[in-house]
Each structure stands twice: as structure tokens, then as C-alpha cells.
Amino acid sequence: MEKIIVYMPNWLGDVIMALPALRQIRKNNPQSHITVLTKSIYKDIYLTEDVDNIIEIVSFGNAVKEIRKLKFDQGFLFTNSFSSALIFFLGNVKNIIGYAKEGRSIFLSCHPKLSSKILSLHQSEQFLNLVNNNLEKINDDIFRVLSVNKFAQKKADDFIEKNNPGSKKIIGFGIGAKFGSAKEWLPLYYRELAHELVKNYNAVIILFGTLKETDSARYISQGLNHNDCINLAGKTNIADLIAHINNCSMFIGNDSGLVHIAGALNKRTIAIFGSTSAKKTAPLGKNVKVISSCAECAPCFKRVCSLGTMECMKEITVEKVLDVLWHTDDVLWHTDDVLWHT
């Protein structure tokens, strides 16, 4: 039996965008033993995917040691770093496939050229290109809805039953972005939007993020009672996070891993893009809308606004988000109408 290892991405959004390619590997190799190499924090995502083994990255040396034990015939690199290729090389992976970046081509058995055409593709298609050179032969079934851990879902359901006794519509806010503050819509805008939705949409707001967003979450929820604005920032693991987002009627958030989860769950999702480009990293899913900034400086792809003005995010006003939200119905949410530019 052929043994395949896949080095999955290090960012949550990239992990979600790489799942179709991981599923395509299984489709191409139904009898193979497939292992994913991943950060420990993302392990729960793969427990609901069709893989045979998960190796958690504890350290560079430990990863090499664990890979050597299993004697892999083939390895796919969904990361672009030199160190990830070196791990596979030192782990004696026989056939290493990945893009030739950071001078690592000496370790690669196959490295498709990163042409301008490939670079122009959506990130999910760049991952798929490593697996299937002919993207036209890709079937839609690999873009299926993200699976949810049943125990985490039961836990999330119980939480909602306790905290949303009136069965109001649940709207999730993804208020952070691990990449950097330049990708974050203004807390003031989130606060104004939360008040508007609670008042006029009979909604309960759930705030999602990491511990880093604790202060922002506290600010956004000011003036709203606990049952109207529930703060889960920094309080969930990945499995619980997916289950809680699955309970949302709608999700609004920055270009971050959270909107990618919402999109992959086929939630009605509004993704806010300021410093980054939706053409390459818009969330996957049938019910995704993207609002992209028209500021002259956007997209700059920087972690922190170099101008110190956050003009790209200021330009995306609460009114613009509400305009998209109030006009959302079954006619407007189509996969062939993914990008909405302000």
C-alpha cells in the first residue's frame, strides 16, 4: 500500500482552502494510506476528513523522526517554506511535490512552475494544481460542506439553548485576524453593526476571535446585555469554534480563518476585505459575499497599516455592510456572484 503524507498549511484560512486538494488526493488514491502533518491546534479539522493518520508538529526534530518511522512513498507540500521541504527530505519521503520557493527545489522531486497564470489563481486552485495539473477535471464534490464533530455540535447546541432562550437569529462576528491588524474592520463599526442588528433584526450576536481580541470584544459588546451579545473570543478550540459557527444564521467577519470556516459550512457569509485581495483568498462556499474596499491604497497586503489611517477599512462603512445584509435573499446568494465591490 502506497503511503502519502501531506504537509498542511500553517494558517487556518489556508487550511480550509487546502481541504479540497486534500480530498482530491484521496480521490486520486482511494487505496493509499494518507497522513496529514499539521499544527496541533488544527488537528480536530482532520478528524472529520478521510485521512488515516495525523502527525502533530511538536518540533522540527520530532516531525522528522515521526515521518521516518512510516517510510512515505510520496509527500505533498501545501506550505512554501524551506523548512517544510527539509523536514520531508530528512524524513526520507521518496517523492516530494511542492512549489519551488525559498530555494528548496533541491529537495523536490516534482515542482510545478509558479507561472503568472498559476499565481493568478485562487489559493484553493493553487493547492489543487499541485495535485491535478488539469483543473478542468476537478469535480465539485471535493468542495463539499465542512464536517462538524458531533460531540462539539451537541455542546454548542446546549450552549445556545441555555443562552438564546428566545430562539433569535444568531449572527456571528469574526472580529480578529491573526495575520495582522490591517485586515481588521474597525471595532467601532462592529459595535455599531451589533447594536443595529440586535435592535432591528431581532438578532443575537456571537463574537468570535482569539484572546488577542478580548479587549475589542468587550468594547463591541458595550451597551448590550449578555444574551444579546455573547463573547466567545478566546474561549473555544477549533472543534467547538466550527460547531458554534455552524449554529449561526449568518456570519460577518474580516478576511480570516473564521470567515473561511463559515463559508465552508455554507453559512450566509459576508467577508470584509480591505488590505487583502478577494480574488485570491475569498472564502469558498455557495453563500459567500465579499465586500472589497475601493480605497486607493488597497490592497497593500501589509500586516499593519503603513499610513496609520486604516483608510481601506474606514471606507467600508456600516451602511455598506447593512446594504448587503438587508438585500440578501435566495436570489442574491449565488456561487457565480461571489465578489461584491463597494
Quickly tell me which residue has 502506497 as its cell. 2
**What backbone phi and psi angles, to 5 degrees, belong to 278?**
-70, -20
From CA 277, how far away is CA 121, in angstroms rounded? 12
What mean pLDDT do residues 248-266 have?
96
Residue 332: the pLDDT is 36
What are the angstrom distances between the C-alpha of 166 and each of 58, 128, 227, 246? 44, 44, 10, 18
Is the pLDDT at 329 greater than 50? The verdict is no
Q: Which of 6, 9, 12 is nearest to 131 (CA)?
A: 6
333, pLDDT greater than 50: no
Per-residue model confidence as pLDDT tens digits over 43-96: 999 999 999 999 999 999 999 999 999 999 999 999 999 999 999 999 999 999
- Tell whether the model's pLDDT for residue 135 goes beyond 70: no
pLDDT of residue 129: 92
- Give DSSP secondary structure letters for 133-193: S-GGG--GGGGPPPP--HHHHHHHHHHHHHH-TT-PEEEEEE---TT-GGGPPPHHHHHHH
Condensed to tens digits (0 to 9), the pLDDT of residues 140-197 reads: 789 989 999 999 999 999 999 998 867 789 999 999 988 888 999 999 999 999 999 9
Side-chain-side CA neighbours of residue 72 (13 Å): 29
230 with 205: CB under 8 angstroms? yes
**Whole-angstrom Cα distance, residue 151 to residue 79?**
31
Task: Give the pLDDT confidence of 15-49 residue by residue, as tens digits.
Answer: 999 999 999 999 999 999 999 999 999 999 999 99
Question: Region 240-267: what's the mean pLDDT?
Answer: 96
pTM: predicted TM-score of the whole model, two decimal places: 0.92
Q: Which residue stretches of 35-115 are H helix?
A: 43-46, 60-70, 82-90
> Hey, which of 50-59, 117-126, 302-311 has the most confident mean pLDDT?
50-59
Joined grid coordinates for residue 211 = 484572546
Tell me, what's the pLDDT at 168? 87
Q: What pLDDT, on a 0 to 100 scale, did the predictor assign at position 107?
A: 96
Specify the pLDDT at position 328. Answer: 61
Bridge partners of 52, per DSSP, are none
